[in-house]
Amino acid sequence: MPKSTRQPPVFGLMAAIALFLILEACIARVANRDCGSSICGDVEIKNPFRLTTQPSKCGDHRFELECDSNNRTSLVMKYDRFNVQNITYETQTAQIITYSNIGSQFQNITYESYTMQAIDANLSKDDNCSLPRSSFRVDDFCKVPYSLSAPSQMMFLVNCKRPMKSSSYINASHCPTSSSHPPASYFYFLDGETPARKFDESCTIDALVPIMVKNISGMSTSDIYQNLLLVFEIDSFGLQYCYEKERPFQLKLESLQYALQTYAYSFVHFLFNGPHVFQNTYYVLVFYMLE
């Protein structure tokens, strides 16, 4: 009696392919869509950024921007808003080294990085007396995935009932005042590291203002205003944690999709090359940027 040969599970492969296609459709339905680019003023807005006027499935709602009637792009946050001057979209390359049961492996990956330049919406080019009053605070990175690039710090904008003589208090008003009509209150900038004991009792804190310097000690009023153009960076790798936390069902679908891909690959390899040892990657050793 002739010896029977083991037949590859064709039905299993067909079922895997069908399930893979179903999962692909499900993932596509819940994933953010790239709806192309939009223009608001001089700012190009494209995925993952979105405008409030776009359909809800376009872009990522954590990167939602507003375009007002004057064609100004605004980043609206919990404590205030910033006018966006520019968004830079870049593709970067990084390298991951992994260990597995068949040895170490180098893998190059590409990812998108984003840089946004913005300025306090309270500052007006037409009003020399305007003051920065927008605070930048991130209570939950997964909801507001922005970070200020270095160097940066927070400084206090304080409102005082009387003029301060200390050099720690830097005049915040660049509006000319008349000596015959002194202001009802005096605004000053204080460094973000100023201890509580150095706050005068006649002063109250109006805002915690971000600025692109390490500290403001010894700076002039004009120097401070020249450094108020903010540079926000988006950490796309940090967002992966948020993605796993906020969309566990979609992550499970993608894991199952990967398993089906591996099954299909193993099946094809079996047909033409026979059985093979599956690579089991168990630890990411190091990740670093490539020039």
Tell me, what amino acid is at 246?
E
Q: Measured between alpha carbons, how far is 48 from 113 in angstroms, rounded to an integer?
A: 10
256 or 52, higher pLDDT: 52
196: number of Cβ within 10 Å: 5
* 281 confidence band (pLDDT: 50, 70, 90): very low
Whether the Cβ atoms of residue 103 and residue 70 lie closer than 8 Å to each other: no
Q: Measured between alpha carbons, how far is 272 from 86 in angstroms, rounded to an integer?
A: 53
User: Region 145-167: what's the mean pLDDT?
Assistant: 91
pLDDT digits (tens, 9 = 90+) for 184-223: 889 999 999 999 888 999 999 999 999 999 999 999 999 9
For the ranges 124-133, 237-246, 279-288, the maximum mean pLDDT occurs at: 124-133
* 43 confidence band (pLDDT: 50, 70, 90): very high
Q: Mean pLDDT for the chain?
A: 76
Give this prediction's pTM: 0.68
- Tokens representing 52 are 């409030």
Q: Which of 225, 241, 180, 257 is nearest to 24 (CA)?
A: 257
